[in-house]
Amino acid sequence: MKALGANPVNMNWGDAQVAFQQGVVDGQENPVVAIEIPVKIWQFHKYATIWRYVIDPLMLTVNNKVMASFSAEDQKIISQAAIEAAAGQKKVVRKGLIAPDLSALALLKEKGMDVVELDEATRMQFKAKTTSVYEKWTDVVGAELVKKAETAVAASR
């Protein structure tokens, strides 16, 4: 967010709602379905910008020693459960945000919000401004993991 010229602050959600009401914080970035709709974000914000920059990652991890303590059969069951949980989570957070079902965005509009969906050219402007962040984190998390993420994103299009 700093690369885009914002002055971000982290705060718990209860404090954020008060900060919005008092005008101390004038915006927020959170998932539409998981945060914005349940807390009725339209009570605090008039505008929503949908720029589709997140791929909804859900990382399920387990300590290698703990996993090794399970039988091969149980390891297979645990791995399959993780795959199914991740697929289910993706469906939940994307519900109403991907055509043909745009009901989540329609609800925001129905509640009086001005919802703007950025086009590809505008999203590329955001991407250009955040290139240095991408490069920094590629070094931190590793090029191999970034490549896997890029492959997953490409496959989802």
Q: How confident is the model at residue 132 (pLDDT cuts 50, 70, 90)?
A: very high
Averaged pLDDT for residues 81-107: 89
Closest CA to 96 of 86, 88, 107, 85: 107
Plot region of 96 (φ>0 → left; ψ -120 to 50 → alpha; else → beta): left
Which of 11-20, 27-36, 65-74 is most confident? Answer: 65-74
- Average pLDDT for residues 82-94, to the nearest whole number? 87
Q: What is the pLDDT of residues 24-64, one digit of tens each?
A: 998 888 888 877 788 898 998 999 999 887 766 677 889 99
Strand, coil or helix: what is 49? strand
Full set of structural domains in the chain with CATH: 2-136 (3.40.190.170)
The SS3 assignment for 115 reads: strand
CB 138 within 8 A of CB 147: no
Q: Supply the mean pLDDT for the chain.
A: 89
CA atoms of 94 and 89, how far apart (whole Å): 9
The model's confidence at residue 125, banded by pLDDT at 50, 70 and 90, is very high
pLDDT of residue 55: 63
Q: What is the pTM of this model?
A: 0.74
Residue 57 pLDDT: 66
In what helix (H) or strand (E) does residue 48 lie, and over which residues does it extend?
Answer: strand 47-50
| 48 backbone dihedrals φ, ψ, rounded to 5° | -135, 130
